[in-house]
Amino acid sequence: MASFDEMRPGGAGTRQPYAGYDSWFQNQDPARLKEKMLDAESVFRKTGITFAVYGEAEAAERLIPFDIIPRIISGSEWRRLTQGIEQRVQALNAFLDDIYHRQEIIRSGRLPKHLIAGNEAFLPEMIGVRPPSGVYTHIIGVDIVRTGENEFFVLEDNARTPSGVSYMLENRETMMQLFPELFQKIKVRPVEDYPQLLRQSLSMVAPEPAKGAPTVAVLTPGIYNSAYFEHAFLADQMGVELVEGHDLRVIDGHVAMRTTQGYKRIDVLYRRVDDSFLDPLTFRPDSTLGVPGIMDVYRAGNITLANAPGTGIADDKAIYSYMPEIIEFYTGRKAILGNIPTWRCSEPDSLKYVIEHLEELVVKEVHGSGGYGMLVGPAASKKERDLFASKLKANPANYIAQPTLALSTCPILTEAGLAPRHVDLRPFVLMSDRITIVPGGLTRVALKEGSLVVNSSQGGGTKDTWVLDDW
Give me the pLDDT at residue 304, please. 97
CA distances from 400 to 31, 299, 341, 365 (A): 46, 34, 10, 7
**CB distance 238 to 306 below 8 Å:** no
Chain mean pLDDT for the chain: 92
Mean pLDDT within 274-289: 96
DSSP label of 1: -
On whether residue 420 sits in a domain, the answer given is no
Mean pLDDT of 238-267: 96
For residue 460, the one-letter residue type is G
Residue 356 lies in a domain: yes
Cα–Cα distance between 115 and 310 in angstroms, integer?
14
What's the pLDDT at 74? 97
Could you give the strand order of the β-sheet that contains 254-259, starting from the edge strand earlier in sequence? 248-251, 254-259, 262-265
Residue 205 has pLDDT above 70, yes or no: yes
Say whether pLDDT at 291 is over 80. yes
Structural domain span for residue 351: 341-404
pLDDT value at 39 more than 90: yes
Q: What is the pLDDT of residues 391-429, one digit of tens each?
A: 999 999 899 999 988 899 999 999 889 999 999 999 999
Query: Looking at the domain assignment, is residue 144 inside a domain?
Result: no
369 domain-assigned: yes
Mapping DSSP onto H, E and C, the string for 61-82 reads: EEECCEEEEEEEECHHHHHHHH
Longest dimension (CA), the chain: 68
E-strand spans in 325-441?
Answer: 338-339, 343-344, 361-365, 375-376, 399-403, 409-414, 417-426, 428-431, 435-437
- Model confidence at 370: pLDDT above 70: no
pLDDT of 78 strictly over 90: yes
- Contact call for residues 421 and 409 (beta carbons, < 8 A): yes
Decide if 107 is inside a domain.
no
Please measure the distance between the N-terminal and C-terminal CA atoms of the chain and give it in whole angstroms: 33
Across the beta sheet with 268-271, the strand order is: 241-243, 216-219, 268-271, 304-306
CATH number at residue 369: 3.30.1490.270
Is-contact 243 225, C-beta < 8 A? Answer: no
Residues with Cβ within 8 Å of 167's Cβ and at least 6 positions away in sequence, in order, are: 49, 64, 230, 442, 462
Q: Are 62 and 455 in contact, with CB atoms under 8 Å apart?
A: no
H-assigned helices in 332-452: 348-356, 382-394
Q: Is residue 363 part of a domain?
A: yes
> What's the total number of domains in the chain?
1
Phi, psi of 267 (to 5 degrees): -100, -35
**pLDDT at site 47:** 79
**What would the mean pLDDT of 113-125 be, rounded to a whole number?**
91
Query: Quick check: is 352 in a domain?
Result: yes
Residue type at position 452 = L
- The answer to whether 69 and 410 are in contact (CB under 8 A) is yes
Residue 189 included in any domain: no
Say how many CA atoms lie within 13 Å of 454 toward its Cβ.
23
Q: How many CB atoms lie within 10 A of CB 188?
A: 23
